[in-house]
Chain A
């Protein structure tokens, strides 16, 4: 199972009202291509998707905010998980698509393979954490996203995946357009 397939599957569970923040590089390109538009597609801002998602969740407490991030991005901003654990916004959820590499820059390895995400994230005060390895799976479990999208609870879902072999084109919108389209949605 590859990251893009996981994002494609998530689409089946979305109502269209969720607000999504996606990390720079391949993840944003996949979210732009596969999920309802417009969302907050990050270009730079490496390490900041969780922080931006936290601010958005506080600003829009009635909307569900989903941060979709690669492992490199998540780990660069790891201390922002501690802040989220302290604030406990019930409308925020974080999906970590973990291929154990900085895939966008040519699949250089990250430190992700050494880590236990459940212990790490629970240790930062987030009670609802699921970690699943789909690298060997051909099908995504049918109930994987049920609770993640619907339940009003701060959650982290960590999914180990295979590296995507297709690199998508860059998002055609200028970041100012990304912002304006999101604000005017």
Chain B
């Protein structure tokens, strides 16, 4: 069994890549990450009230010359459609999004995630957003690829995070 990515290693990697702000809405798949984010001195974290608000914050931060990333549950993908298409994509603003991949397996306790779980990759494809699925083994290489595509295209990219990868 793989060991989850240590949140402090994950965040210091992102800090080394130049990210100094994070904003979004939590998911239990990111529980440990958010604990580290709230304590981080390198990355300032703003809890947003909605996921589209976080897109606005990170885009505004970029227009001021600094780079941040977005963190949200895949339910929030349904909230950020206009913020992606009429802000980040329209103005060509690079945006790294970490999205939890919930609803992959039938779960009687959490039926609210099932439909979005089914369509998550279709939604990203429909919005023409390149995406990767984060894995414990070669996570730095996956993030390097995502960040490289984001910078080369100056557009949003997405990293999907399954259960257990970034939090117990």
B-side contacts of A49, CB under 8 Å:
56
Q: Can you name the residue of chain A whose Cβ is closest to the Cβ of B56?
A: A51
Docked-complex contact B49 and A83, CB < 8 angstroms: yes
C-alpha spacing A8/B83, complex, angstroms? 29
Q: Which of B50, B61, B68 contacts A79 (CB 8 A)?
A: B50
Q: B73 to nearest A CB, angstroms?
A: 17
Docked-complex contact B65 and A179, CB < 8 angstroms: no
Report if A45-B63 is in contact (Cβ < 8 Å); known contacts: A58-B21, A82-B49, A176-B92. no
B-side contacts of A63, CB under 8 Å:
64
Among residues 44 to 93 in chain B, which have CB atoms less than 8 Å away from a CB atom of chain A? Answer: 44, 46-50, 52-66, 68, 82-83, 85-87, 90-93
Docked-complex contact B82 and A83, CB < 8 angstroms: no
Residue A4 is within 8 A (CB to CB) of chain B in the complex: no
Complex interface bits, A61-100 against B, C-beta within 8 A gives 1, otherwise 0: 0010000000000000101101100110000000000000
Number of interface residues of B (CB under 8 A): 32
A-side contacts of B44, CB under 8 Å:
58
Q: Which of B47, B53, B87 contacts A77 (CB 8 A)?
A: B53
Docked-complex contact B46 and A44, CB < 8 angstroms: no
Number of interface residues of A (CB under 8 A): 36
Q: B81 to nearest A CB, angstroms?
A: 11
Q: Which of A43, A55, A60, A178 contacts B58 (CB 8 A)?
A: A55
C-alpha spacing A8/B85, complex, angstroms? 31
Q: Can you name the residue of chain B whose Cβ is closest to the Cβ of A52?
A: B60
A-B contacts counted at CB < 8 A amount to 115
Q: Can you name the residue of chain B whose Cβ is closest to the Cβ of A24?
A: B86
A-side contacts of B50, CB under 8 Å:
79-80
B-side contacts of A183, CB under 8 Å:
63, 65
Q: Which of A45, A80, A176 contacts B87 (CB 8 A)?
A: A45
Docked-complex contact B60 and A21, CB < 8 angstroms: yes
A-side contacts of B48, CB under 8 Å:
51, 80, 83
Q: A121 to nearest B CB, angstroms?
A: 15
Residue A103 is within 8 A (CB to CB) of chain B in the complex: no
Among residues 13 to 62 in chain A, which have CB atoms less than 8 Å away from a CB atom of chain B? Answer: 19, 21, 40, 42-60
Most chain B beta carbons < 10 A, residue from A42, A54, A58, A86:
A58
11 A–B contacts, CB within 8 A, in A order = A48-B56, A51-B54, A52-B56, A55-B63, A55-B64, A56-B64, A58-B44, A58-B66, A77-B53, A79-B53, A176-B90
B interface residues with partner A (beta carbon < 8 Å): 21, 44, 46-50, 52-66, 68, 82-83, 85-87, 90-93
A interface residues with partner B (beta carbon < 8 Å): 19, 21, 40, 42-60, 63, 77, 79-80, 82-83, 86-87, 175-176, 178-179, 182-183
Instruction: Beyond A53-B60, A54-B60, A175-B90, list 16 extra A-B contacts (CB 8 Å).
Output: A45-B83, A51-B48, A51-B60, A52-B87, A55-B58, A58-B60, A58-B64, A59-B64, A80-B56, A82-B49, A83-B48, A83-B53, A176-B90, A178-B91, A179-B91, A179-B93
